[in-house]
Structure 1
Amino acid sequence: MTATLLLLVQGTFLAAAGGPLLRRATWPQRAPRLGVAVWLTLSGVALTSVFFAGLTLTLPRVPLTSDLATFVHLCLDEIRAQYSTPAGASSAVVGAAIMFGVAGRLVLCSARVARWRAAERARHAAALRLVGRREAVLGAAVVDHDVPLAYCLPGRGRQIVLTTAALERLSRPQLAAVLAHERAHLRSRHDLLIAAALVLKHAFPWVPAFAHAHEHVCCLVEMAADDAALRTHDRLTLAEGILRVAAGRPAAPALGAGSSSGARVRRLIAPRQRLGAARGLLVAAAVAGPLLTMAWLAAAPASAAAHVVTCPLPAATVLP
């Protein structure tokens, strides 16, 4: 029961306090990839802690043995003992409800999000085949439109899309920087990170931290793509290119170069010092703490059971 309570407290604390703390932090903009990892990891640990709390309530502690028949017999005895009292039966039912509630919501919303994203990508790709034309020199599809847009469509038929207005407004260096930004999205599969955050947001809409995680992950992957483009392009050139395509917003699940343009342009014009190895390790340790705590608390009952001797392992036969 102690492990259950600690897991519930940890999950609740991370969901209630982790989100506000990360929202106020400025370091994720200096290390956007680490920021994405922290948002998704803490969200996952908060949810997994609650799941394992239900698991520790549901499953009785069964000592390990090498004899399958003995193990089954002990397991049945432990289950009968747990369900023989109203308190034991109630705790097991509550634990099962927590487990199946968390897992069921995740599976259901994952399927819904995957189906929606696949349908939207297919619809968008079909429209591009009708109205777009492939420009091999650019490695992108071009659409006649008076709104400047530059975005990428991830998935099986992934491609970069530009409008004619974007081509007219962007200089050659700016266009190259914007294309490098979009290629970074496709190469790093940022759409999968956004999809993971979106699943948590829709599965548990009453948890504000998951909605904040989705919002910040969407912004941070844009900054991560900016950093990738900066390896081969000038900082101000990229900032100017972002501003020139910031007027339009592509339909989901596309990732647009103009998204979150204000924060990104400020970051590019007035760059801050990188996070540094020492601070990066400190952040990683702060994230690893709840993760290791969850693993230890969830494994404690199994570890205790392993040390209960019920049926000794068969002695090794010594050959003459």
Structure 2
Amino acid sequence: MLPATAVALAVLAALLAWPVPALLARARWPRRDPLVALVCWQAIGLAGGLSMVGALLVHGLAPWGHSLPEAAWSLAAGSPAGEPVRGDHWVALTLAGVLASELLGVLVLSGLRTARTRRRHRELLELVVQPSAELPDTRLLEHPAPVAFCIPGARPLLVLSSGMVAELDEDQLAAVVAHERAHLRERHHLLLLPFVAWEAALPVLPAAARAHAAVRELVEMRADDVALASLSGSAPRRTLARAIVAAVGGAGGAGVPSGALAVTGGVAASRVVRLLEPPSPLPVAARWAALTSAELLLLLPTALLLLPAF
């Protein structure tokens, strides 16, 4: 018979692998507060992985203890199992090791691969771009299409094409630069990395692709919000929306290196609608409820793993 703790973790893992991500991806409230929604997505990803591996570990180690710490202590002390060790226990332990190695290994490999790709693109771009005299910390690239992107990392690079400079007016260029700087300042590439790895590690899981797409759109909306807070002028929302439309219409994301964050990222149409028809802010009570739920979601599998089995 499976320990109740293992069953509870398995149920939680199943909920976080499909229905919960599906509901959050279809919800309308995240566009009202992308930052809170990003926190919720991170909690779902972390709690889901912990629950999947934890359910297998708890079942596999059940003969040695009624909780993960107790079983680990018994094994470390060389104590014999208190119950017969069956084949399903060894299978569970093997699967837990394989799954943990897969999730962590893909995360590390994705991070290294992305960093290497960005470094290569940065080195190539530094050979052809020129510093902008009008826009500090910005490089200009001779390219006819309107393109704007940033390459994050230890030496971040913010690039505007000559086509973008020619296409947009001064206020629109300032909006684009503010958007890209928001990506760099808030390190949005680190928020995306776990979901890139999740999708690569579990390609058969539809929720993985849905989560990656949702998080990618949310980081763009968050960058829009941060950019708007720094813009002056009578209609900053319209200014940024026009810049996005110009970039999408002229290039549609073409010419943006892989691993870069571009102003045309995410679903541009929904971002433009959100800028021109801003949703009402998420109420403070709802905001705190969402953040509390995310915290509890992380605490639940942790408590199930550390506390004695029930």
Identify whether the pair has TM-score above 0.5, normalized to the shorter chain.
Answer: yes
Change (3 A) 1:123 1:76: closer
Cα distance in 1 for partners of 2:32, 2:283 equals 9
Q: TM-score, normalised by structure 1?
A: 0.85
Structure 1 counterpart SS, 2:140: strand
Cα distance, 1:91 vs structure 2: 3.5
- Structure 2: which 5+ residue stretches go unaligned? 68-72
Cα distance in 1 for partners of 2:74, 2:150 equals 54
Alignment root-mean-square deviation, CA: 2.1
Cα distance in 1 for partners of 2:60, 2:133 equals 59
Change (3 A) 1:154 1:55: same
| Contact in 1 for aligned 2:106/2:197 (Cα 8 Å) | yes
| Contact in 2 for aligned 1:50/1:98 (Cα 8 Å) | no
Equivalent residue, structure 2, for 1:113: 110
Cα distance, 1:295 vs structure 2: 2.1
Deviations 1:87-139 (A, max 9, x none): x3323213312321221102321232122212211221122122211214312
Cα distance, 1:251 vs structure 2: 2.3
Query: Which protein has the larger Cα radius of gyration, Structure 1 or Structure 2?
Result: 1
Cα distance in 1 for partners of 2:38, 2:295 equals 15
Change (3 A) 1:62 1:17: closer
The percent of aligned pairs where both chains have the same amino acid is 32
Deviations 1:198-236 (A, max 9, x none): 011111112211211111111100000000011122111
- Structure 1: which 5+ residue stretches go unaligned? 64-70, 305-320
Equivalent residue, structure 2, for 1:147: 145
Cα distance in 1 for partners of 2:134, 2:38 equals 33
AA at the equivalent of 1:29: R
Structure 1 counterpart SS, 2:126: helix
Equivalent residue, structure 2, for 1:265: 272
Q: Please say if 1:34 is aligned against 2:32.
A: no
Equivalent residue, structure 1, for 2:213: 215
Change (3 A) 1:129 1:52: same
Q: TM-score, normalised by structure 2?
A: 0.88
Change (3 A) 1:124 1:274: same
Q: Please say if 1:58 is aligned against 2:60.
A: yes
Cα distance in 2 for partners of 1:73, 1:288 equals 31
Cα distance in 2 for partners of 1:146, 1:211 equals 33
Cα distance in 2 for partners of 1:214, 1:21 equals 14
Equivalent residue, structure 1, for 2:246: 244
| Contact in 1 for aligned 2:46/2:298 (Cα 8 Å) | no
- What are the within-5 Å matches in structure 2 for residues 82-231 of structure 1? 82=83, 85=84, 88-138=85-135, 139-231=137-229
Deviations 1:74-93 (A, max 9, x none): 953443x44xx3xx332321
Change (3 A) 1:151 1:74: closer
Cα distance in 2 for partners of 1:73, 1:52 equals 17
Count of residues in Structure 1 that have an aligned counterpart in Structure 2: 292
- Runs of 4+, deviation exceeding 6 Å: 71-74
